[in-house]
Amino acid sequence: MKKLLLIEDDVLILKMVEFKLKKEGYEVHIAKDGKEGIEKIDELKPDIIISDIVMPYKSGIEIVHYTKQNYPDTPVIVLSELGEEEKTVIEAFQLGAVDFVSKPFNPQELVLRLKRFV
């Protein structure tokens, strides 16, 4: 079973994605902000990370940067609201994010994208 860390501050999205991914057989761990996300990255050493871009305490950009500095083989998929700065998404890719999913999204699309990396 693949260990996945989901870092998202929107509780509805968090619960919806957590439910879908558990149903698909992933071992899902959650963090509700970027600071907690970084703590859980070190604690869990997940196989893959899904992170929102805009969050309290630490951004998704900081999550991507931290992960690639410390766990370079761990793929990070970023989530972002439609209309957020395109340069932010480009920066996430430049730092090493492997994919980008814009909100709102279909949870099944996220599952299919995940399968490319695990």
Q: How many domains does the chain have?
A: 1
The residue range of the domain holding 89 is 3-115
Entry pTM: 0.92
Q: Cα–Cα distance between 35 and 15 in angstroms, integer?
A: 19
Q: What is the mean pLDDT of each run of 10 residues along the chain (118 residues)?
A: 93 92 95 96 97 91 96 94 72 91 87 87
CA-CA-CA-CA torsion sign (85, 106, 111, 29): positive
Distances (CA, A) of 39 to 9, 33, 35: 15, 10, 7
pLDDT of 102: 85
CATH number at residue 53: 3.40.50.2300
